[in-house]
Amino acid sequence: MKKILWLILLAIGASFLAAGQVALVSGIDGKVTLLRAGSSVPMEIGSLLDNGDELQTSTEAFAALKFLDGQASLRLFEKTYLRLSAENGKGGLKKIPSLSWGSLYARIEKGSGNFTCLTKNCTVTTSKSTFLVKVNDLSDCTLIVLSGKAELTDPETKQAHSVEAGQTALLDHTGTFLKRDTRATDFSKPERDFLNPQKKPVSTGLAVPLTDAQGHIRYVEFSW
């Protein structure tokens, strides 16, 4: 499936970007609402997303997106609201999504153009990194950098803070900033399950025919 989606992106990217379509749905589970120009429209894996589209995930739902330049991927965890925005610019596609609330995973590859995630209380900018940005009901902003480096900026004071892999930065609604090493408790269960998938054990079995004293064949199954 991933290979097929990648080939689709290569084939349609340039033409659809020109038409105002900026991303493609690469995964979905549970109830996810897509709003376009204020109206709800159906979506599924492979659906193209327009500039300005808004997505909202419900409890125990997620949506995965890939921008049409093929070099930036997003995942909306449960109870997340995101507005898509992107524009062609020097150096590639400039991606400027806005996160109203919830949790957003982003993987930004080198050469994909600048990526800037806007929230009410912070701005996250990067050219190459993997991170989680989260916004709670108070508009407190949490940035967890998993690889590379990102910059967190306070939109009120314009003060920028560099955050590197293995660090968590918090900027609350009062303007208080804190940066520290990332802790396991920084992640919700859905985030941990996604970042550290557990491989399901593969069961191997064998049925061995045995003959009893009466000459009847019986099968004994072994599994490991």
Under DSSP, the state recorded for 45 is T
User: Does the reported pTM lie above 0.75?
Assistant: yes
CA nearest neighbour of 224 among 207, 202, 208, 209: 202
Per-residue pLDDT of the chain (224 residues; tens, 9 = 90+): 545 544 454 444 444 454 589 999 999 999 999 999 999 999 999 999 999 999 999 999 999 999 998 888 999 999 999 999 998 877 778 999 999 999 999 999 877 678 999 999 999 999 899 999 999 999 999 999 999 999 999 999 999 999 999 999 999 999 999 999 999 999 999 999 999 987 655 555 555 455 555 666 655 454 44
Domain ranges (residues) in the chain: 2-223
Structure tokens at 166: 């293995």
Host H or E run for residue 22: strand 21-29
In this structure, CATH architecture of domain 2-223: Sandwich (2.60)
